[in-house]
């Protein structure tokens, strides 16, 4: 990871409903807490999230070069589209909305099975040569998607954004349950965690506090009573909130992941950023994993 990139990323998927003053406060608090990496996508709020963020940038000369802006492309209504034409058009529109000349990182949002890797390579090379994108990555991609892309791309894919948190542990379950017949032994991601570690690809854990696919936040949820009890107890011991312990649980993994938090509340950013000061023992880490309902073989 570049030293400029914070390990906690502020996800901007939910900012569309914020007033300009609230968003300014969210961004200012993030920066004050050392969170300088902001995650967008062309589709968040149908472009509104990038637009609002662009207004903050326009009103704060000097801010742009002190932050890392990431956006994504490739999702269209009812389909995925990694064609050269779509990638180039999407980035142009994102730059216009964000009111900037470049994004630091561009991710391909969800695998497009009709992808032609040669076309993606042409699009990335055009964007890189024009100074419109500095680094590239993917999101929700498994090992062979990355291998296929990387065969043609001259650029190294530096990031893979994947859902991961105490209540969504798919990327580690199969590795813990190797050689067993239970459901958790099913390898749904092709060993993506180990692959990213081997290749030096930083995993960005999205929706760290959610369970299921946007089913809700596990904090305070009755289905996760044991997990909440353990997070609260460790939080009390370390003087932080249960949410911060949950984020610390992700940061503690030796894969050195980044965590994409999606709060729109400046006070919560402050609380969550305390995660970087929490140190979890191996015993506590596995206790949290088990408390979320996972069994060790």
Ligand X SMILES: NC(=O)c1ccc[n+]([C@@H]2O[C@H](COP(=O)([O-])OP(=O)(O)OC[C@H]3O[C@@H](n4cnc5c(N)ncnc54)[C@H](OP(=O)(O)O)[C@@H]3O)[C@@H](O)[C@H]2O)c1
Q: Which residues does residue 205 pair with via DSSP β-bridges, in sequence order?
A: 162, 259
Among 58-66, 85-93, 152-160, 207-215, which window interacts with ligand X (CB under 6 A)?
A: 207-215
Q: Is 140 in the site for ligand X (CB under 6 A)?
A: yes
Q: Cβ atoms within 10 A of the Cβ of 236, count?
A: 12
Minimum distance of ligand X from residue 243's CB (angstroms): 4
Minimum distance of ligand X from residue 154's CB (angstroms): 24
State the binding string over 78-117 for ligand X (x if CB under 6 A, else -): ----------------------------------------
CA–CA dist 148, 104 (Å, integer): 23
Q: Which of 121, 235, 268, 275 binds ligand X (CB under 6 A)?
A: 268
Q: Which of 6, 29, 160, 161 binds ligand X (CB under 6 A)?
A: 161
C-alpha distance from residue 275 to each of 34, 91, 252 (Å): 12, 33, 10
- Residue nearer to ligand X on the CB measure, 39 or 287: 39
- Residue nearer to ligand X on the CB measure, 260 or 292: 260
Q: Is 265 in the site for ligand X (CB under 6 A)?
A: yes
Q: Are strands 75-76 and 79-80 parallel, antiparallel or unpaired?
A: antiparallel
Q: Is 274 in the site for ligand X (CB under 6 A)?
A: no
Q: Is 30 in the site for ligand X (CB under 6 A)?
A: no
Residue numbers at the binding site for ligand X (CB under 6 A): 11-14, 39, 139-140, 161, 206-210, 217, 219, 243, 260-265, 268
């Amino acid at each position: 990871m570049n030293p400029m990139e914070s390990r906690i990323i502020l996800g901007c998927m939910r900012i569309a409903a914020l007033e300009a003053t609230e968003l300014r406060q969210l961004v200012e608090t993030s920066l004050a807490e050392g969170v300088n990496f902001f995650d967008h996508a062309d589709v968040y709020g149908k472009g509104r999230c990038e637009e609002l963020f662009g207004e903050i940038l326009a009103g704060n000369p000097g801010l742009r070069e002190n932050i890392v802006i990431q956006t994504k492309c490739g999702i269209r209504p009812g389909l995925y589209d990694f064609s050269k034409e779509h990638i180039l058009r999407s980035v142009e529109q994102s730059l216009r909305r964000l009111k900037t000349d470049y994004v630091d990182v561009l991710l391909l949002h969800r695998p497009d099975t009709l992808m032609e890797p040669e076309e993606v390579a042409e699009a990335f090379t055009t964007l890189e040569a024009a100074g419109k994108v500095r680094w590239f990555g993917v999101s929700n991609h498994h090992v062979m998607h990355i291998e296929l892309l990387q065969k043609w791309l001259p650029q190294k894919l530096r990031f893979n954004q994947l859902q991961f948190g105490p209540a969504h542990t798919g990327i580690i379950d199969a590795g813990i349950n190797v050689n067993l017949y239970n459901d958790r032994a099913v390898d749904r991601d092709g060993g993506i965690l180990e692959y990213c570690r081997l290749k030096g690809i930083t995993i960005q854990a999205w929706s760290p506090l959610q369970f299921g696919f946007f089913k809700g936040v596990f904090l305070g949820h009755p289905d996760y009573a044991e997990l909440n009890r353990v997070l609260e107890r460790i939080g009390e011991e370390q003087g932080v909130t249960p949410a911060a312990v949950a984020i610390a649980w992700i940061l503690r993994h030796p894969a050195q992941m980044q965590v994409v938090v999606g709060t729109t509340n400046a006070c919560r950013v402050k609380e969550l950023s305390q995660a970087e000061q929490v140190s979890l023992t191996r015993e506590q880490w596995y206790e949290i994993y088990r408390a979320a309902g996972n069994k060790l073989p």
